[in-house]
């Protein structure tokens, strides 16, 4: 049986980051040797993955992009997750004002805070448009043949399509998009940085178990290292953060008609259909990257280190031999 994504994705793979507003990361290719972290004094290449700060030349210059996010991001890291291999650290280094990392079980009690969502494919997970009260339903058919009570996210086998229902065509188009940074329906997003089996153990913790969950399934991963048995929409942590913020921003403030960063990112057709009504032209070009203007790459630099590593991997390894691209979708 073919996968629902098969008919939606291009068969010819293109460089995924074309058109995205990612700063020139070739500076990373010129850095030689390792440098001591000024806080813990450990030897690191680009940044300290224990202290979440840049080292060496990157600490002494302003070449690293600094990103301001529309909401707070918490990352819960499993204690067995290898720090040096985690992409979660990228977010903490590039958006230090808005990102913090906790090592499980030393985590906050999120039951005491309003406006917190957990990015996790639970049986009751919503999609981002649903957080913004858009009339979107999940088209699940007969749940793709799974037993009653099971959800595609927990089974990690098939995705579900989002369908927007238009009940009132006379409703003003902007009515559901009058959002500001201080009234977004989400104030903090929590991500789990671990293997799938480990993440289920973290999700069982009562401090996060009661959070409203959100599922991301509109984008295929470009990560070169994958978990056995997981589908291509099981994103690396930094990809998941970028995708979530992208969807939040588009649902709040629209998508710039000038932005071409989604063209090669392997975003599903259902996502494009939902984003199309929100595509608007910025009033002025100088406002094209304001935090409350249509999405024009405001958070693309979260992929600064990720894109550089992607280039490096594909420079030294045969693209067709990478396991991440030989696994079935």
Label each residue of the chain as H, E or C: CCCCCCCCCCCCCCCCCCCCCCCCCHHHHHCCCCEECCCCCCEECCEECCCCEECCHHHHCCCCCCCCCCCEEEEEECCCCCHHHCCHHHHHHHCCCCEEEEECCCCCCHHHCCCEEEECCCCCCECHHHHCCCCEEEECCCHHHCCCCCCHHHHCCCCCEEEECCCCCCCCCCHHHCCCHHHCCCCEEEEEECCHHHHHHHHCCHHHHCCEEECCCCECCCCCCCCCCCCCCCCCHHHHHHHHHHHHHHHHHCEECCCCCCCCCCECHHHHHHHHHHEECCCCHHHCCCCCCCECCCCHHHHHHHHHHHHHHHHHCCHHHCHHHCCCC
Q: Evaluate whether 134 touches 176 at the Cβ level (below 8 Å).
A: yes
Does residue 139 carry a pLDDT above 90? no
Q: What is the mean pLDDT of residues 252-267?
A: 92
pLDDT band at 267 (very low <50, low <70, confident <90, very high): confident
Does residue 149 carry a pLDDT above 50? no
CA distance 274 to 267: 12
pLDDT band at 101 (very low <50, low <70, confident <90, very high): very high
The two three-digit tokens of residue 1, written as one number:
């049986």
pLDDT band at 283 (very low <50, low <70, confident <90, very high): low
Does residue 315 carry a pLDDT above 80? no
What is residue 230's predicted lDDT score, i.e. its pLDDT? 53
Sort residue 74 into left (φ over 0), alpha (ψ -120 to 50) or beta: beta
Does residue 277 carry a pLDDT above 60? yes
Does residue 10 carry a pLDDT above 70? no
pLDDT band at 218 (very low <50, low <70, confident <90, very high): confident
Q: Evaluate whether 292 touches 180 at the Cβ level (below 8 Å).
A: yes
What is residue 160's predicted lDDT score, i.e. its pLDDT? 53
Does residue 256 carry a pLDDT above 60? yes
Give the gyration radius of the chain's Cα atoms.
20
| Listed ranges 63-77, 122-136, 208-222, 230-244; the one with the highest mean pLDDT | 63-77
* Among the listed residues 57, 107, 54, the one whose alpha carbon sits nearest the alpha carbon of residue 78: 107
The two three-digit tokens of residue 94, written as one number:
């590039």
Q: What is the mean pLDDT of residues 133-160?
A: 52
CA distance 81 to 59: 26
Does residue 298 carry a pLDDT above 90? yes
> What phi, psi does 100 have (nearest 5°)?
-135, 150
Q: Give the whole-number percent of the chain exceeding pLDDT 90.
A: 53
- The per-residue pLDDT for range 11-32, each reduced to its tens digit, is 445 789 999 999 999 999 999 9
What is residue 4's predicted lDDT score, i.e. its pLDDT? 42
- The pTM assigned to this predicted structure is 0.84
What's the length of the chain? 329
pLDDT band at 67 (very low <50, low <70, confident <90, very high): very high
């Amino acid at each position: 049986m073919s996968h629902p994504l098969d008919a939606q994705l291009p068969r010819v793979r293109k460089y995924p980051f074309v058109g995205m507003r990612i700063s020139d990361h070739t500076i990373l290719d010129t850095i030689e040797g390792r440098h001591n972290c000024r806080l813990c004094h450990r030897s690191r290449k680009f940044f300290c993955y224990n202290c979440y700060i840049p080292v060496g030349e990157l600490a002494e210059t302003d070449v690293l992009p600094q990103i301001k996010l529309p909401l707070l991001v918490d990352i819960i890291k499993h204690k067995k997750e290898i720090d040096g291999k985690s992409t979660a650290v990228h977010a903490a280094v590039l958006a230090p004002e808005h990102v913090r990392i906790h090592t499980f079980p030393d985590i906050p009690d999120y039951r005491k805070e309003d406006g917190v969502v957990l990015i996790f494919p639970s049986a009751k997970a919503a999609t981002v448009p649903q957080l913004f009260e858009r009339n979107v339903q999940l088209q699940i058919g007969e749940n793709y043949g799974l037993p009653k009570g099971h959800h595609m996210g927990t089974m990690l086998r098939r995705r579900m399509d989002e369908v927007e229902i238009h009940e009132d065509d006379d409703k003003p188009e902007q009515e559901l998009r009058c959002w500001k940074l201080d009234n977004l329906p989400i104030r903090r997003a929590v991500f789990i940085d671990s293997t799938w089996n480990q993440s289920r153990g973290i999700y069982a913790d009562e401090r996060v178990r009661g959070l409203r969950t959100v599922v991301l399934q509109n984008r295929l991963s470009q990560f070169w290292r994958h978990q056995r048995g997981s589908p291509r929409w099981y994103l690396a942590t930094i990809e998941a953060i970028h995708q979530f913020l992208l969807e939040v921003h588009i649902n709040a403030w629209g998508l710039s008609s000038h932005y071409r960063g989604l063209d090669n990112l392997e975003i599903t057709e259902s996502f494009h259909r939902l984003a199309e009504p929100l595509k608007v032209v910025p009033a002025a070009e100088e406002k094209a990257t304001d935090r409350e203007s249509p999405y024009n790459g405001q958070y693309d630099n979260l992929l600064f280190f990720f894109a550089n590593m992607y280039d490096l991997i594909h420079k030294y390894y045969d693209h067709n031999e990478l396991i991440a691209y030989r696994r079935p979708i």
